[in-house]
Chains A and B, each alone.
Chain A
Amino acid sequence: MAKHGTARDDRRPSVGNLRTLRGKSDSGSPASARADALDRLIHERLRLGIVSALAVNDSLSFSDLKKLMKTTDGNLSVHARKLEEAEYITCTKSFEGRMPKTEYKLTAMGRRALERYLDHMEALIRATRER
């Protein structure tokens, strides 16, 4: 698996040209600006991985996600926090016996963001083929 970036990677130009692939009609509108922001949020590899993994599971614990993403505690919690702040995922903390347990779930908004992201990627590939 590819190395996951740190939280600082958010500043890198990410999908960047997604707006061009989505068509010109809605560019510049507040909705498109918001969509672009959401795309950037989900584009980062580790966050994309978290959302993708949660899309096929009811919920996953912090340790499940950590194993799956092969990342560190700190890196995972930073990226999960960003997704939580965007309301893409929810985080529930509880105790299993005496052990603290953190569980993540994908929200409807997060699922829509992933679907939109998949649409973006497919549109980009389609646009290249049609050229």
Chain B
Amino acid sequence: MASVTPLHRAPAPEPPALHVRAMDNLAFIRDTMEAAGSFTAVSGWGMVAVGIIAAIAAAIAFAQHSAVGSIYVWVAAAALAPCVMLWAIVRKARRAHVPLLAGPGRKFILSFSPPMLVGALLTIVLYRAGVVDAIPGMWLLLYGTGVVTGGAFSVRVVPVMGICFMLAGVIALFTPSSWNDIIMAAAFGGLHIAFGIPIARRHGG
């Protein structure tokens, strides 16, 4: 039996109003910029610079006669490195005309900062408790955690780098403390340079 087709179809839904389409278009532009912004959120050359600072710090830390002296050197490097990194990120953002505190940049800072804050507080606690040998492992673990969580909004290579830092932290915590400076040099120096160069080449600086 032939099927019956109604002569009058249901009226087509009203097309969206112009302002709704405009808002949709603006949202699309913002989303695309945010997604594409992950290409620029982290400065590869900044990471290379931080790696070089870490390599210099490692050389100075080796020359120290005590674990506390070595920690002082790394604390000085830890104070300098974020300034260099921030400068590199700001420079890259300006060059790409990206607002620094919008989109992925803001998400990265919000995700990266809490582990860094915890790391700073635990450093004071462990230093006062005299457990200085555990500090490098804790730093690496928390730095890696920050990079993994912050890197969730960035290119895939960033969280991978964070995992490598966390592994380095685990190694530092479960190996003799005399290895700490070597592990710190390999992680903060080597990993930053090794991951920084491809990020700089592939993701705009």
Q: Which residues of A contact B (CB under 8 A)?
A: 2, 17, 21, 43, 45, 48-49, 52-60, 64, 68, 111, 114, 118, 120-122, 124-125, 127-129
Contact = CB atoms under 8 A, between A and B. Distances in A.
25 contacts: A43-B25, A45-B28, A48-B25, A48-B28, A48-B29, A49-B32, A53-B36, A54-B36, A55-B33, A56-B33, A57-B36, A57-B39, A57-B40, A58-B204, A59-B204, A64-B39, A111-B97, A114-B29, A118-B26, A121-B25, A122-B26, A124-B22, A125-B19, A125-B23, A128-B18
A104 B17 CA distance: 34
Interface of B: 17-19, 22-23, 25-26, 28-29, 32-33, 35-37, 39-40, 95-98, 204-205
B36 A17 contact: no
Given A121-B25, A121-B26, A122-B26, A60 B36 contact: yes
B205 to A, nearest CB: 7
Which 5 A-B residue pairings sit nearest by Cβ, starting from the closest? Answer: A53-B36, A128-B19, A124-B22, A52-B32, A121-B22
Contacts of B204: 57-59
A59 B42 CA distance: 15
A48 B28 CA distance: 9
Contacts of B40: 56-57
Contacts of A111: 97
